[in-house]
Each structure stands twice: as structure tokens, then as C-alpha cells.
Structure 1
């Protein structure tokens, strides 16, 4: 079992996300108000604190939740080891893993700063199956 450390949102693409108190995650959409939400397979992005720690371990400082543009920063689960199709309950929300990693876009600010970005390898994407709220501290349970 894992837990949510932060819920992060941005109004536009290509910028780090800001932490919010709680977010409403809608079926076939994702986090309401987030630039990356929509009717597609990458409605919600998740990245584990364990993955962020790997980047910090090489001496890069100043990374906090949302800097890798993840909607949910988590801890306690190696997210990238979950098979596609895995369902999980996060707070009130049920979601399904649809993609592991992604292609890093040209000019990624994090890759330019650090020389590496962990999101393309260890970030995951989900679609929302059941709507509801998620807030920091909520448990993550694999169904």
C-alpha cells in the first residue's frame, strides 16, 4: 500500500505543476482544471517520491512535488512496476494504469537542467474509472 504525498495541477502545458489541497478527478477526463486532462489514455500522471529521490541522489537540489509535471506524487509503491491494466483506488477515485513512462519532449526543462529526467522511465499514466476527490495523505490500494 502507498500514499499520496501531493496533488499537483497546472493551467498550461510545459510548466511545473503547483500543489493543491485536494483535486477532483472526473471519469473520462482526469484532474479538473489541469492542462493535461481530457478524454484520452493519459488523464492522470503519477510519479513516486522514490523516483524523485534518484535524481536528487546525483546532487541536484530544489526538486519538490510537481516539478516533474506529475499530478500525483506518491510514496510506497514502485509505480513503474505495475502492469498496464492494473486498477488502484486512490482516495475516493478508482483508476487504471494505461501507460508506463513516455517519450520526453524536445526541450524538456528538467532534462536540460539535470541532464536526465526520471518521468519518461518511471512515471505512469492512468485513466479515471470512478470520479472523486484525492488529497495528500490518501491511501493507494492496488485492487
Structure 2
């Protein structure tokens, strides 16, 4: 029986296409030539970096929660699908730090590790899209979160992770994917 999870992709086509960060809490993040990942913290100079949760809605609930959302990744294929649906959304404009290509991030199991140069990220879960997306582009939220034919909630706004090993990340960097030991657990929102 299929779990719906993806096998580890391999090849030079699995790479970083853009990197972004912002020191201010806001929706979009400007693109950069490179970002530095800091072990246990996140993206250097990014508002969401920290040992404890930095997302304002999460801080309001419990500011002592561990930060499982240090790095936000979205696959470039989502940007292409949004363009086909009539939404012109550039890399970083959905708040992601790393835009990838050639890997179905949403189907990776919890605990997957992504090696990018000397940096290593562990995937912790799915980003939960919020109403800010419709404030950015009216109608966009329906493209990123909806119920499927079986009434299961589908979240497509990328994945979140924590930094296990620091290092520089640049567009063009190859991504090596290491799946966790079996049994695999599907991603849930974090």
C-alpha cells in the first residue's frame, strides 16, 4: 500500500533556485544572492530566526515554544502552478527563505534532512497558510489550502524546518535528500 510519500529525489535537477530573508516581520521576503543558515536558529538576519518560536501568532499563544519554523521552503513548481492559475507570485513573495526545484517538498516525510552545501535542514512540517495570503493577492488562499474530494485538508504553502548544521545557501546549490528511518510519518502543520 502506498503511503503517498515521495522517494528521495536524486540528480542535479534538485536544487535551490532562490533565497530570501527579511529582518522585519512581514509577508514577503526580498531575494538575496545568498543566505547564511545558523544551526539551531534559522536564517541569519531573518525575523523568524531563533531558538523559540518567532511567528507572532505563535508567540502570542506561548513564547517559550521551540521554533520548528526556522526555515520556510517552497518548491518553484508551486509558483509555476500559481502562474497558470493567474497569480503572478515571485520567489520569496510567499515568505519563503528557500525556493527549491525538482523536489516535491509536500510529500516528504517528517524528519527528512536536506543537505545544501555544508548546511543541513530537518523538515518539521507543513506551513499553515493564513488570511494574510489573501491580503497579498485576493483569492490566493484558495489555491494554497482547500479540501480535496475526500474532504481532507490540503496545505500547499510549503514546508518548515530547523537548521541542524549551518552554512551558506545560494541559488544553484544542489540539494541532497536523506529520508528518515521507516516507518515514515506524513507531514502535519507546524
TM-score normalised by L of structure 1:
0.89
Pick the structure with greater CA Rg: 2
How far apart, in 1, do the equivalents of 2:141 and 2:74 lie?
A: 18
Change (3 A) 1:56 1:80: same
Q: 1:58 aligns with which of 60, 68, 85?
A: 85
How far apart, in 2, do the equivalents of 1:89 and 1:25 lie?
A: 12
Structure 1: where are the runs of 5+ without partners? none
Contact 2:131 2:141 (8 Å CA) reproduced: no
Task: Report the equivalent of 1:106.
Answer: 131
C-alpha displacement of 1:111: 5.1
Contact 1:80 1:101 (8 Å CA) reproduced: no
Q: 1:80 aligns with which of 64, 81, 106?
A: 106
C-alpha displacement of 1:112: 2.7
More strand by share: 1
- Tell me the secondary structure at the aligned position of residue 52 of structure 1: helix
**Which deviates more from structure 2 when the two are superposed, residues 67-76 or residues 91-100?**
91-100
How far apart, in 1, do the equivalents of 2:100 and 2:85 lie?
A: 20
Task: Report the equivalent of 1:15.
Answer: 27
Task: Report the equivalent of 2:50.
Answer: 38
How far apart, in 1, do the equivalents of 2:136 and 2:143 lie?
A: 6
Contact 1:3 1:140 (8 Å CA) reproduced: yes
How far apart, in 2, do the equivalents of 1:125 and 1:55 lie?
A: 20
Contact 1:30 1:38 (8 Å CA) reproduced: yes
Aligned-residue CA RMSD (Å)? 1.7
C-alpha displacement of 1:122: 4.2
Q: 1:6 aligns with which of 18, 21, 37?
A: 18
Structure 2: where are the runs of 5+ without partners? 1-9, 52-66, 146-154, 179-190
Contact 1:5 1:136 (8 Å CA) reproduced: yes
Q: Which has the higher contact order (CA 8 A, sep 6+)?
A: 1
Task: Report the equivalent of 2:120.
Answer: 94
